[in-house]
Amino acid sequence: MADKKRTVWNYFDRIEGDKVVWIIVLMLILISIVCIFSSTSRLLEGSQTRLSIVKSQLLVVAGGLAVIIVCYNIKNIKFFRWLSKWGFPLSFLLLALLISKIDTPVVRSIELNGARRILQIAGFQIHVFEVVKVAMVMYLAWAIDALKKGELKKPRNENVRRWIYINLPFVVTLVMIVPGSNSAALFIGGIMFLVILLGGGNIRDLLLLGLIAVLLLGGAWGIYKVSDGKVFGRIGTAVSRISESEDWEQKVLDARPGSDEYYKALDKIRQPYSAKIAIKEGGVLGKGPGQSTQRYVVPDISEDYMYSFIIEEYGLWGALIIIFLYVSLLARGSIIVRNCGKDLYAKISVAGLCLLITGQAFLHMFVNADIGPMTGQTLPLISHGNSAFLCFSLAFGIILSFSRIAQRRIEKEQRDAKPLMELKENVQAGLDELDDYETNGIPREEDESAAMELNDEMDEYGI
Residue type, 325: L
CA distance 199 to 148: 9
**3-class SS shares of the chain: helix, strand, coil, % to 5:** 70, 5, 25
Domain assignment of residue 443, yes or no: yes
Residue 450 pLDDT: 58
Distance of alpha carbon 450 from its chain centroid, rounded? 65
Q: Is the pLDDT of residue 71 over 80?
A: yes
- Residues 390 and 131: their CA atoms lie apart, in Å, by 9
**Which whole number is the average pLDDT over 387-404?**
92
451 domain-assigned = yes
Does position 2 have pLDDT exceeding 50, yes or no?
A: no
Per-residue pLDDT reduced to its tens digit, 343-374: 899 999 999 999 999 999 999 898 888 776 67
375 neighbors 238 (Cβ within 8 angstroms):
no
Name the nearest CA neighbour of 376 among 184, 164, 193: 184
CB 336 within 8 A of CB 346: no
List, edge to edge, every strand of the sheet that includes 124-127. 107-112, 115-121, 124-127
CA 273 to chain centroid = 28
Residue 432 lies in a domain: yes
Report how far residue 382's alpha carbon sits from residue 388's, in angstroms, rounded to the nearest whole number.
Answer: 10
Residue 152 near residue 81 (C-beta atoms within 8 A): no
Average pLDDT over residues 85-96: 94
Q: Is the pLDDT of residue 240 over 60?
A: no
Alpha carbons 103 and 119: distance in angstroms, whole number: 10
Q: What is the pLDDT of residue 253?
A: 60
Tens-digit pLDDT profile for residues 158-207: 788 888 999 899 989 988 888 777 778 889 989 998 999 888 877 877 78
Residues β-bridged to residue 111: 116
Which one, of 338, 312, 336, 310, lies nearest residue 324 by Cα?
310
- Of 425, 430, 422, 437, nearest to 452 by C-alpha is 430
Crossing angle (nearest 10°) for helices 203-226 and 168-177: 30
Of 269, 302, 462, 451, which Cα lies nearest the Cα of 370? 269
The amino acid at 333: G
Q: Judge whether 188 lies within some domain.
A: no
Quick one: 267 exposed, middle or buried, by C-beta within 10 A (0-12, 13-18, 19+)? exposed
CB burial of residue 122 (10 Å; 0-12, 13-18, 19+): exposed
Sequence-separated contacts (24+) of 366-373 with Cβ below 8 Å: 367/304, 368/275, 368/279, 368/305, 368/306, 368/307, 368/308, 369/276, 369/279, 370/272, 370/275, 370/276, 373/183, 373/238, 373/241, 373/242
| CA atoms of 16 and 22, how far apart (whole Å) | 10
Interval 115-133: pLDDT, tens: 778 888 887 888 899 999 9
Distance, CA of 202 to CA of 199 (rounded, Å):
9
For residue 376, is it left (φ>0), alpha (ψ between -120 and 50) or beta? Answer: left
Note whether residue 454 is domain-resident. Answer: yes
Helices (H) and strands (E) in the chain, counts: 18, 3
Residue 379 region, left (φ>0) first, then alpha (ψ -120 to 50), else beta? beta
- Is 25 domain-assigned? no
Question: Count of domains in the chain?
Answer: 1
Angle at CA of residue 298, ends 292 and 304, nearest 5°: 100
How does the average pLDDT of the chain come out, rounded?
Answer: 79
Q: Say if residue 61's pLDDT is above 80.
A: yes
Q: What percent of the chain has pLDDT over 70?
A: 70
The answer to whether residue 452 is domain-embedded is: yes
Nearest in space to 454 (alpha carbons), one of 435, 440, 441: 435
Q: Please tell me the distance from the alpha carbon of residue 37 to that of residue 45, in angstroms, as a whole number.
A: 15
CA distance 337 to 403: 8
- 296-349 pLDDT per residue, tens: 666 666 777 888 888 888 888 889 999 999 999 999 999 999 888 888 999 999
Q: Find out whether 209 and 170 touch, Cβ atoms under 8 Å.
A: yes
Is position 144 within any domain? no
Phi, psi of 142 (to 5 degrees): -65, -45
For residue 300, give the amino acid letter: D
Name which of 462, 460, 384 is nearest 38 in CA terms. Answer: 384
Hey, is 124 helix, strand or coil?
strand
Burial of 352 (0-12, 13-18, 19+ CB in 10 A): buried
Using DSSP's 3-state secondary structure scheme, residue 263 falls into: helix
Q: Tell me the residue type at 337.
A: V
Neighbours of 363 (CB within 10 A): 20
Higher per-residue pLDDT: 157 or 83: 83
3-state SS assignment for residue 164: helix
Give the pLDDT band (50/70/90) at residue 1.
Answer: very low
The whole model's pTM is what? 0.80
